[in-house]
Every structure is written in structure tokens, then in C-alpha cells.
Amino acid sequence: MGNVSPWCQFGCECLETPHHLFAKCRRFAETRIKSSQEVVDTTSMLLCEAKTTIRTTDVYLHSARRLFVDDASVWPLRETRYYLGTVPAIEPPDQITTVLATKIAHVWHVASIRLVG
């Protein structure tokens, strides 16, 4: 196994780690952007249907936009971990139903699984 390179096989000058492949690698940037937009659109639709406040909508949409990228305001460890099957915990400024929060978490989780696949 001494002939296996630790560098990204897509030409990046980075170690080929899961975090690099799923969050940083240029080869998959377009796919991450497309998936992110789908998550934002679906989350926005759910929030609109539930008639949430502007503050709650802003909090959820901020996290939805940053789901697939490193962001300390969304991810406690400052790096995205969507590829491990987790979604960020949200502290909404207003009361929302558990059903709505669960639907949003489900949308994010399924989108994460599809993106990793």
C-alpha cells in the first residue's frame, strides 16, 4: 500500500479526507451548490406554509444556506458534518411546532444523504 497517494485524486493540493471531499473539493462544488439551493427552497416553502415569523424564517434559512459548508454560526465544531448524517441544532427565536422542526430536519437529512451518495 506504499504506492497510494494521500492527496485528493481530483487534483486538489489537499489530503483526501472525508471532510475535504464532501465540503471543500472543487470537483463537487457545483453539486453542493445545487443541493443547497434545493434545501433552501424546500425549507422556505415549509416555513411559508406554516406562516412562521420573519425572525424564525431568517434563522432557519440561514442554517439551510450553510448546511453544506463550514460555518461556526451553524455548526458547533465550526465545520459541516452533514456527511456523517447529522443536521445542526436550531434554536428558533419564536415557538414553532415540533412537527415543523421535525419536517425541516428530515428535509435536511435526506438532502444530506443524497448529496453524499
CA distances from 44 to 53, 64, 84, 90, 92 (A): 12, 9, 24, 15, 15
Tell me, what DSSP letter sits at residue 87? -
- As a whole number of angstroms, the distance between CA 60 and CA 40 comes to 9
Alpha helices (H) in 1-117, listed in sequence order? 18-19, 29-49, 54-65, 98-116
pTM: 0.88
pLDDT tens-digit readout, 26-71 = 999 999 999 999 999 999 999 999 999 999 999 999 999 999 999 9
